[in-house]
Amino acid sequence: MKLGRIMLILMAVAAGCQARDVLSWSRPPIRVGILHSQTGAMAEIEQSMIDAEIMALEEINASGGLLGGRRVEWTIADGQSDAAVFAREARRLLLEVKVQAIFGCYTSFSRKAVLPEVEDAGGLLFYPAYYEGLEQSPNVAYIGAAPNQQIIPTLKWAHDHLGARSFYLIGVDSLYSHGLNEIIKDVVYSLDARIVGEHYVSFNSQDFRDPIAAIKEARPDMVINSLTGASNSRFCHELRAAGATSAGYPMISYTLDEELVQRLPSSDVAGDYLTASYLQVINTPENHAFIERFKARFGRDRVTSDLVDTAYNGVRFWAQAVQEAETDTPRAVRAMLGRQSLNAPEGIISIDATTQHAWRPLYIGKVRPDRTIEILWSSETPIRPEPFPSGRTHADWNRFVDHLRDQWGGNWVNQATSGQPTTPPERSPRRSQATKSQ
């Protein structure tokens, strides 16, 4: 008799729990968008960012959702590595799907295409990639490294620790590489060093004979690589195959990460330097747990990287701000972003209330012959973000960015050399707020 009563009680408790769960998930879901390239030149890079964002959203739902039990639902949109498609898909997510936030973009040309759409709709974009800076918008949370958190301290480290006094710059003929290299020039000249060459190619370039010949002739102390997409892998291979070894022609790559290192032959990358706000080899309990969850979800052979980390953290920042705002509306969430901090895999990071960029640490590593990374230097503490380097005024940087766009016919990539489909989307002549930040 007693056993029967106990069973009835347990069944009632279980039924009550199920009822609460059904009631909880019956509330309207919170809709968000994931906007990355699933096809085209950037697809391989951006897939890992999609995975990280999905994992973070799944973890939110597994812990009970947000705002007292509302489930988060996401729509994945394919930007197709094309600026016009990114803009169109951002508009669809904001106006048709009615998402409360977008997690996405990797290249600067995709971010620039999406930015006016987000601003016009009063939306919120979480941008996870390291970038050239020179931008600030109230509608964007910049989770990746700004120039003073990656570009500038790495150059100074190479000057002080490696004795680098001459630099050769190679990158994509786009806003990212041109903006980054303009910042590099200011720093190099301030160190009384020299730029001995500069070359730009397309995202999909397969021909590096000219820049490699120029590099071998100039014999720089350091090659600075900001290539992205397929051109990055090809250049690393062609440079070393041409006899320009890492010992004689050391290279710092701002876009090389642990995921790409694992896909390339050791002979192409061993001895090269990389710089990031996160490395998989960081020895913290939070990072070990993060790596384990990522591998358990997507496969034991998967590698975490700076982009994986920042994509994941962007979702976490948003979720915390939603909880604190007690609403999912973008305006209210934006107001809470500057109050957010995370105990992230790389340590404590936070959103700067003034710039809406993340405080991030810096790690400089060297690729070993077994393709693991040796950390040579770290900032130890997070670096405050400065999206506009202090060597020039905001107005000067805005003019530089505007000039690039104007000379490329309204694009953020030089189509004359890139071959990249980046036709600017049809829009009103209104300019993004971000290009006029002061």
Model confidence over 96-149: pLDDT tens digits? 999 999 999 999 999 999 999 999 999 999 999 999 999 999 999 999 999 999
Residue 141 near residue 378 (C-beta atoms within 8 A): no
Angle at CA 224, nearest 5°, toward 219 and 225?
A: 120
Can you give the pLDDT at residue 206?
A: 86
Can you give the pLDDT at residue 230?
A: 81
Give strand pairing partners of 347. Answer: 344
**Which of the pair, 14 or 250, is modelled with greater confidence?**
250
Can you give the pLDDT at residue 402?
A: 97
Can you give the pLDDT at residue 17?
A: 42
Looking at 28-42, 193-207, 315-329, which range is the least confident one?
A: 193-207
pLDDT tens readout for residues 174-230: 999 999 999 999 999 999 999 999 999 988 888 999 999 999 999 999 999 999 878
pLDDT at 20 over 50: no
Mean pLDDT of 373-389: 96
Residue 417 near residue 200 (C-beta atoms within 8 A): yes
Can you give the pLDDT at residue 26?
A: 62
Two tokens, residue 374: 């040796």
pLDDT at 19 over 70: no
The span from the CA of 57 to the CA of 59, in Å, is 5
Can you give the pLDDT at residue 380?
A: 83
pLDDT tens readout for residues 427-438: 333 344 564 433
Confidence at 7, pLDDT banded by 50, 70, 90: very low
Can you give the pLDDT at residue 313?
A: 98
The span from the CA of 375 to the CA of 381, in Å, is 15
Residue in 76, 87, 155, 134 with CA at minimum distance from that of residue 438? 134
The span from the CA of 70 to the CA of 369, in Å, is 48
Can you give the pLDDT at residue 438?
A: 31
CATH number for the domain whose boundaries are 27-145+285-359: 3.40.50.2300
The span from the CA of 46 to the CA of 311, in Å, is 10
Average pLDDT, the chain: 90
Can you give the pLDDT at residue 426?
A: 40
Residue in 301, 224, 220, 233 with CA at minimum distance from that of residue 261? 233
Looking at 327-331, 348-352, 393-397, 421-425, which range is the least confident one?
A: 421-425
The span from the CA of 201 to the CA of 239, in Å, is 14
| In the chain, domain spans | 27-145+285-359
Task: Give the rounded percent of residues in the chain with a pLDDT score beyond 90.
Answer: 84
Give strand pairing partners of 104. Answer: 35
DSSP string over 320-338: HHHHHHTS--HHHHHHHHT
Residue in 129, 88, 76 with CA at minimum distance from that of residue 106? 129
The span from the CA of 363 to the CA of 365, in Å, is 6
Residue in 413, 419, 410, 398 with CA at minimum distance from that of residue 177? 413
Can you give the pLDDT at residue 27?
A: 86
pLDDT at 21 over 90: no
- Please state, as a whole number, how many other Cβ atoms lie within 10 Å of the Cβ of residue 356: 20
Looking at 63-72, 229-238, 295-304, 336-345, which range is the least confident one?
A: 229-238
Helices first, then strands: H and E counts in the chain? 15, 15
Amino acid at site 368: R
The span from the CA of 241 to the CA of 239, in Å, is 6
DSSP state of 97: I
Mean pLDDT of 45-52: 97
Confidence at 269, pLDDT banded by 50, 70, 90: very high
Can you give the pLDDT at residue 434?
A: 61
- Please state, as a whole number, how many other Cβ atoms lie within 10 Å of the Cβ of residue 148: 20
